Structure 1
Amino acid sequence: MTQNPKQASAAVAPAHDGRNRFATLAFERDVAAPASVLWQAWTAPAARAVWAAPTPSVTVEFLEADTRVGGREISLCKVEGQPDIRCECGWLELQPAERSVNYEVISSEGTTQSAALVTADFVDLGEKSRLAVTVQLSSLAEDMEGGYREGFGAGLDNLASAAGRTMILQKLIRAPRAVVWKAWMNPKTLPQWWGPDGFSCRTKRIDLRQGGEWVFDMIGPDGTVFPNHHLYGEVRTEERLGYALLWRENGPKHADAWASFEDQDGFTKVTLGMVFSTAAEFQEAKGFGAVELGLQTLGKLERFVTSQ
């Protein structure tokens, strides 16, 4: 998580004495989502991209994202007219819905400004959860503690908001990961199973590569047409894909979505996540049965791959 870039870019002089060089910062947020959902919002790269920027004036560009023990995430925090802030995050421990530990190194213009150890603890409160984050900070430039307090505070506020409008669907599919991935990423087979029971797809354009798109209509059992447009921002073979969901071709975005694929003893655990653009859209989706309909879609995927 990047600190406040305005303070970071100003803090390039080395700290010549021990005053305020080391600090332990504590943050806590109550979140209107179960711990399992909060965990996905905290760790999934597509979700992190939604809430990472501390303020609207900041743009965060992800150069690398590998959320597993030993993996790292590299991002650039950009503010117009100021040097880019580079953040490197390395994952040291990941206990799903319980705890994560990562290191974080902040630099700008080739100068390392800080290093930190970040521990996040998740407490399940049923339909709600609590996140407690401890940052053990070593400042290598002046005024880093203030920047961290501001940047982490704003980022966690964003995270709590995003988690509250995040929908997570999971299914263990009785097929190897390579088979499931192929059925999802083949332009001929994806339209054959995509959508809830009784729905069909009518494709206009489909290119499932990174930077590609899928423009299609979902057709309901009663003939109602629902125009859709998916824009693919990330594709990591047999691991995950990230995409934006638009209402109709080039219409407004209603969610940032991702799908991840994990091997489990020859079966495949598929996680389909969506961070809706607004809380109202999230509630509307829940109201019309998006969870049940999404699970039907994953059920059709399983029936498709096991029938081949």
Structure 2
Amino acid sequence: MSGRFATLSFERSVAAPVSALWSAWTAPAARALWAAPAPSVTIEWLEADTRVGGREVSLCKTAGEPAIRCEVGWLVLQADALSVNSEIVSVDGVPQSAALVTADLTPVGGGSRIVVTVQLSSLAEDMEAGYRQGFGAGMDNLADVAARTMVLRRVIRAPRAVVWGAWMNPETLPLWWGPDGFSCRTQRIDLRAGGEWVFDMIAADGTVYPNHHRYGDVRPPDGFSYTLHWGENGPKHADAWASFEEQDGATAVTLAMVFNTAAEFRDAKGFGAEALGLQTLGKLARFVGET
């Protein structure tokens, strides 16, 4: 129906496991990559707290037009399965619409599917056409981002404060980072928001792999985001984030990354990046004295 009230539905099949789709749908670092409906639109993130009771505030900007403010409130988050959030859109402080957004995620064969239902109330004008266009384009972007997303998970039997302290400490991070047999040689390290880590990863055979991590949002002890570059100030090859959740005295760690291109994602899968990343999380577990 059209007018002040409408129920909209969007469905996409995604060539990625449901864990990757969930991370792309909910993680602020990933949402920043797919939320803009067109290249002419930029998204500025003011807040991003993806947990039940948390909120996400962003500004959607197009040259020559007023910024559109979107405030999301997270109501339900069931990992890899279901999310429900409220969404209020306003311009110059005047509410334009309010919506309840429900996303159902399911595994399908080797991939996954997402069905999003938007119960929309137009407050200042008929927003249905804009939602259909903007949300539809965003869902296309989401499917592309999810297909380039790699997710690593491990439950470490140690308190979250201990795991966070081992990771976000410039003295200890280089001691365990990297797969089995690798060591780190640091040039500069500053693990604050806006900081960076310039270092070499050195394989057991002596091969040197230059790395440069640039840190974005850092929210102790919940998580952080960063970008990965091929060597100091080199090309970016992935956007990444890590989250830490308490789980009965242990810590559920999620490390995820969106590769710049589908080709880079395939290359990473081809040389065993998932197994190597899990080795890195295993070294972290041993470093903190997992009990």
- In the superposition, the TM-score normalised over structure 2's length comes to 0.98
Match of residue 54 from structure 1: 37
User: Aligned residues, how many?
Assistant: 291
Q: Is the 8 Å Cα contact of residues 158 and 290 (structure 2) preserved in structure 1?
A: no
2:86–2:101 contact (8 Å) kept in structure 1: yes
Task: Verify: 1:278 aligned to 2:261, yes or no.
Answer: yes
* Matched AA of 1:224: T
Equivalent-residue separation in structure 2 for 1:248 and 1:266 (angstroms): 37
**1:176 is aligned to 2:193:** no
- Secondary structure at 1:81 match in 2: coil
The DSSP-based 3-state class of the residue aligned with 2:133 is helix
Q: Structure 1, residues 152-202: CA drift from partner, whole Å, max 9, x if none? A: 000000000000010000011111100000000110100000000111111
Structure-2 residue corresponding to 1:262: 245
Q: Which runs of 5+ in 1 are unaligned?
A: 1-17
RMSD: 1.4
Q: Choose which of 126, 131, 137 in structure 2 pairs with 1:154.
A: 137
Q: Quick one: which amino acid aligns to residue 72 of structure 1?
A: R
Offset of 1:142 from its aligned partner? 2.6
SS in 1 for 2:161: helix
| Corresponding residue of 2:122 | 139
* 2:51 paired residue among 48, 68, 76: 68
Hey, what's the Cα distance between the residues in 1 that align with 2:286 and 2:109? 32
Give the Cα–Cα distance (whole angstroms) in 2 for the partners of residues 197 and 99 of structure 1: 36
Report the secondary structure of 2:50's partner residue: coil
Deviation, structure 1 residue 35 = 1.4
Q: What is the one-letter code of the residue matched to 1:77? A: C
Distance 1:307 1:206 in 2: 26
Divergent runs of 4+, >3 A: none
The percent of aligned pairs where both chains have the same amino acid is 73
- Label 1:109 to 1:213 Cα distance change in 2 as closer, same or farther (>3 A): same
Partner of 2:206: 223
Structure-2 residue corresponding to 1:113 = 96
Give the TM-score taking structure 1 as reference length: 0.92
- The AA in structure 2 aligned to 1:268 is T
**Counterpart AA for 1:80:** A
Within the candidate set 207, 210, 216, 1:233 is matched to 216
1:49: how far off? 1.0
C-alpha distance in 2 between matches for 1:241 and 1:127: 29
> Is 1:196 aligned with 2:179?
yes
Equivalent pair of 2:157/2:290 in contact (CA under 8 Å): no
